Amino acid sequence: MHPETHLALHHTRALELRAEADAYRLAATVRRPRDFRTRLGWTLVEVGLRLATTPRPATAASCF
């Protein structure tokens, strides 16, 4: 293969890889806040459910 052709193919492939990495990085940054928001929401639901339920008195069987 001619060296200039090989170099042109190398540059083209490097540009494709950079574009793919940029797209992946952009998708990863978009996903993060949504994951955090989901975890925070479910944590608040769990806390609310714990506050809404009445605590059960401890029995002698549960102490052992």
Domain residue limits, the chain = 3-47
Measured between alpha carbons, how far is 48 from 9 in angstroms, rounded to an integer? 59
**What does pTM read for this prediction?**
0.43
pLDDT in tens, 30-59: 666 668 888 999 999 999 999 998 777 767
Q: Which tokens go with 35?
A: 């994951």
Q: Residue 60: how many CA atoms within 13 Å on its side-chain side?
A: 0
Query: Looking at residues 6-27, what average pLDDT do you find?
Result: 92
Q: How many residues does the chain have?
A: 64
